[in-house]
């Protein structure tokens, strides 16, 4: 069968509506069949149609395209529990803590993504099945959130007494307005057409007959304006009084501090430009001993066994400084830039880095102190070896 005949046959199948689901064809023009879920491709589609086995071998799971061999199952690393075992239709699901999902390519828990484009909603929440999946809201749905973690909402339908002035869009809901608010009409007197007759021009005088003005409505408007003006004036006086009182208190506080600093000679020596006072005993405690770097390599205690408050202090110090912080420590511990970028997507990357490293074998304080010494963070080494920091802010 020539190429022209095959092309004509495919064009005829598409025209008649018989579209090939797999998108692949044999040499004779037959649509390639997809293997059912849980089975394995024994022979790929080519000269003949696809051949399948009844089920995937043990330790593998079904390929989602239905045209490829079964894929080996993933194994959860130590420290990460298994949520669901591998089966013929799905891979192993590893359970990370809330806000994280298991990234099988790197074998670690990565922070969940969020929908950031306008008019996007969540089609699958982040969890054991994988990362968050986002999609532009379909017709009839919308999402007005700038950073969304929820599905799209159903568009509002205007009622019978409302008129639609803007249709629903992916990033905004339907905008409705009451019909009475924009349709101007004059009420009829006694159910007759008297207003129309009064508006007609008098043939004798040549001037239109206008209805008399309501005096009560004018008086109500004047009263409303007067009350509003009084409220605004009262607010202005209140704000002015609060500003005056605040300035007075600040001046009194400044004079009291100036008098106190002038009477205390030690205050002049200890006061810095930033308003931070250093305690001499704390400064001495904060200085690392000469043998810290030498002894840290021999410390076989595990980081995961440190008290929670000590771990929080170390993570805070690494989080505050950008020049030599958690990212430089991760590189010193052997992490790749791609893994560090994943940690940086979360709200607490220093905690994510140290928690992941603590699950590895041999994550001792000696190795951690050596890595901190290489990036010149002796203050963090001191935090690991002493229960409290030495700098206090007054």
How many CA atoms lie less than 13 Å away from 15 in the CB half-sphere?
6
pLDDT, residue 238, reads 94
* Whether residue 93 has pLDDT greater than 60: yes
pLDDT, residue 186, reads 47
* Whether residue 231 has pLDDT greater than 80: yes
Give the model confidence (pLDDT) of 177-226 as tens digits.
887 775 544 454 444 444 444 444 444 444 444 455 445 566 789 888 99
Work out the percent of the chain whose per-residue pLDDT is above 90. Answer: 20
Q: Model-level pTM? A: 0.37
- Per-residue pLDDT, averaged over 239-258, amounts to 82
* Whether residue 361 has pLDDT greater than 90: no
Residue 23: band (very low, low, confident or very high) from pLDDT cuts 50, 70, 90: confident
CA distances 87 to 22, 99, 102, 130, Å, are 24, 26, 18, 16
Give the model confidence (pLDDT) of 103-158 as tens digits.
877 888 999 999 988 899 999 999 888 899 999 999 999 999 888 888 999 999 99
d(CA 25, CA 32): 5
Range in 93-97, 162-166, 172-176, 206-210 the model is least confident about: 206-210
Q: Please give the residue that has the higher pLDDT: either 311 or 191.
A: 311
Which of 3.90.1300.10, 3.20.20.70, 1.10.8.60, 1.10.533.10 is the CATH number of 280-341+348-385? Answer: 1.10.533.10
pLDDT, residue 302, reads 87
- Per-residue pLDDT, averaged over 327-353, amounts to 88
- Cβ-Cβ contacts under 8 Å for 94 (sequence gap 6 or more): 74, 76, 77, 80, 81, 82, 83, 102, 104, 109, 128
Burial class (CB in 10 A: 0-12, 13-18, 19+), 21: exposed
- Per-residue pLDDT, averaged over 36-64, amounts to 79
Beta strands, E only, 92-224: 93-94, 100-103, 108-111, 120-124, 133-136, 141-142, 153-154, 162-166, 175-178
Residue 170: band (very low, low, confident or very high) from pLDDT cuts 50, 70, 90: very high
Domain ranges of the chain: 280-341+348-385
């Amino acid at each position: 069968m020539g190429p022209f005949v095959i092309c004509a046959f495919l064009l005829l199948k598409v025209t008649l509506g018989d579209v090939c689901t797999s998108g692949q064809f044999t040499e004779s023009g037959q649509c390639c069949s997809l293997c059912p879920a849980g089975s394995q491709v024994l022979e790929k589609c080519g000269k003949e149609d696809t051949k399948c086995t009844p089920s995937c071998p043990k330790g593998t799971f079904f390929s989602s395209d239905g045209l490829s061999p079964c894929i080996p199952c993933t194994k959860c690393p130590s420290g990460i529990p298994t949520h669901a075992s591998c089966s013929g239709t799905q891979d192993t699901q590893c359970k990370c803590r809330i806000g994280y999902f298991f990234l099988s390519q790197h074998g670690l828990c990565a922070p969940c993504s969020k929908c950031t484009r306008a008019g996007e909603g969540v089609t699958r929440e982040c969890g054991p099945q994988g990362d968050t999946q986002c999609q532009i809201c379909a017709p009839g749905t919308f999402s007005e959130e700038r950073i969304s973690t929820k599905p799209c909402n159903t568009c509002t339908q205007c009622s019978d007494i409302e008129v639609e002035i803007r249709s629903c869009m992916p990033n905004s809901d339907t905008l409705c307005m009451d019909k009475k608010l924009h349709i101007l009409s004059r009420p009829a007197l006694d159910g007759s057409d008297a207003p129309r007759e009064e508006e007609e021009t008098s043939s004798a005088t040549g001037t239109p007959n206008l209805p008399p003005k309501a005096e009560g409505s004018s008086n109500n408007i004047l009263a409303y304006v007067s009350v509003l003006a009084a409220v605004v004036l009262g607010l202005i006086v209140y704000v002015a009084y609060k500003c005056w009182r605040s300035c007075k208190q600040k001046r009194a506080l400044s004079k009291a501090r100036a008098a106190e600093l002038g009477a205390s000679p030690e205050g002049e020596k200890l006061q810095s430009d930033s308003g931070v006072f250093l305690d001499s005993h704390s400064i001495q405690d904060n200085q690392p001993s000469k043998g810290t770097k030498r002894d840290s390599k021999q410390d076989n205690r595990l980081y995961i066994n440190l008290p929670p408050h000590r771990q929080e202090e170390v993570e805070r110090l690494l989080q505050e400084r950008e020049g030599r912080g958690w990212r430089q420590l991760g590189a010193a511990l052997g992490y790749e830039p791609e893994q560090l970028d994943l940690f940086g997507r979360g709200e607490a990357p220093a905690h994510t880095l140290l928690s992941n490293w603590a699950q590895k074998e041999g994550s001792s304080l000696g190795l951690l102190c050596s890595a901190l010494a290489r990036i010149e963070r002796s203050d963090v080494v001191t935090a690991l070896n002493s229960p409290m920091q030495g700098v206090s802010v007054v």
